[in-house]
Amino acid sequence: MASISVDATSLAELKKAIRKDLPDVSSSHISEAIAAALAFRTHASLLASLPSQAADPAIVQLDDDRFYSRLHELGYRLVDDEFRFDWLQEDCPPLISTMPDSGYDIEYKTRRERAWRNLMVIAINEGIRQQLFSLRPYDNRWPGAEPESSGHRGTGYVFGFDLPNGRAAKGYVGDAGFGELSIHVAANPKGDWVRTSNGGFHAGDAFAKGWLERQKGAWLQSSPDMFNCRMHLVEELAGIEVNPMGFGDKGRVIL
């Protein structure tokens, strides 16, 4: 899977790469299918959104299924293995990988694993919404951060938000070096203990931590063992439905 910055230049490069891969699909239909892959109803609505986010374009994951579905509506019958966005990496540099090879072997099978995954994805989504960082390497924006740093510089930052189920939560983001971010999150938080790497139950009734890769691509490095959670919360947190905002949720920890 892959994401892309929603700006005119990146989208033009994407369309050019797709036209090479799918020469029998018309230019206008490729435009419509790209819009669908980015969750826009039409290409016109995608174009209308560009000026409002020109200064800070969102990074959005491209949906292969929506791309296929729109082309099917337009009369094309592509087979499922004929095209994938992540196959275009060499021809389209703006594409951002959201699934490393190691991610295909990872599944969140247990309730605890799903609960960890959900808390981490929610915290990263919220950090992006609050514009504390983006998925671009070294794009750190929180107070005290040092953008473009390549090591452990500046200070981390604690931010508050609510989980989808209404529970209070706090997140922490820090520069882990080499484009990575260190992310911690606590549900029913206690003080600012969430900033400590071994916060555990001092930080809240649930405490998860991990890393967000941004150098080789954009994905959550899977480490569901880094999790403390009260038994009565595991099922509740595991049942939350949440999708990552432009990044993947699977990948081996990079040491």
45 belongs to a structural domain: yes
Residue 116 three-state SS: helix
Judgement on whether residues 90 and 63 belong to the same structural domain of the protein: yes
pTM of the full predicted structure? 0.93
Within the chain, where are the H helices? 8-21, 27-37, 43-49, 64-73, 111-129, 200-203, 231-238
Q: How many structural domains comprise the chain?
A: 2
Q: Which of 88, 67, 34, 61 is nearest to 246 (CA)?
A: 61
253 belongs to a structural domain: no
Judgement on whether residues 149 and 61 belong to the same structural domain of the protein: no
Among candidate residues 97, 112, 127, the one where a domain is terminated:
97
Judgement on whether residues 118 and 215 belong to the same structural domain of the protein: yes
Judgement on whether residues 111 and 233 belong to the same structural domain of the protein: yes
> The domain containing residue 219 runs over which residues?
102-238
Task: Work out the percent of the chain whose per-residue pLDDT is above 90.
Answer: 85
Among candidate residues 97, 114, 147, the one where a domain is terminated:
97
Judgement on whether residues 127 and 197 belong to the same structural domain of the protein: yes
Q: What pLDDT score does 83 carry?
A: 87
81 falls in which pLDDT band (50, 70, 90)?
confident
Q: 94-128: per-residue pLDDT in tens?
A: 999 999 999 999 999 999 999 999 999 999 999 99
Q: 214-249: per-residue pLDDT in tens?
A: 999 999 999 999 999 999 999 999 999 999 999 999
Judgement on whether residues 120 and 71 belong to the same structural domain of the protein: no
Q: 140-163: per-residue pLDDT in tens?
A: 999 988 765 555 556 899 999 999
Q: What pLDDT score does 80 carry?
A: 66
Q: What pLDDT score does 254 carry?
A: 76
Judgement on whether residues 146 and 47 belong to the same structural domain of the protein: no
State in Å, rounded, how far the first CA of the chain is from the last one: 23
Judgement on whether residues 77 and 184 belong to the same structural domain of the protein: no
Judgement on whether residues 53 and 128 belong to the same structural domain of the protein: no
254 belongs to a structural domain: no
Judgement on whether residues 75 and 122 belong to the same structural domain of the protein: no
Among candidate residues 62, 97, 132, the one where a domain is terminated:
97
183 belongs to a structural domain: yes
Judgement on whether residues 87 and 109 belong to the same structural domain of the protein: no
Q: Which of 114, 143, 136 is nearest to 218 (CA)?
A: 136
- Tell me if 249 sits within 8 A of 242, measured CB to CB: no
Q: What pLDDT score does 226 carry?
A: 97
Give the whole-angstrom CA distance, residue 37 versus residue 65: 8
Judgement on whether residues 86 and 123 belong to the same structural domain of the protein: no
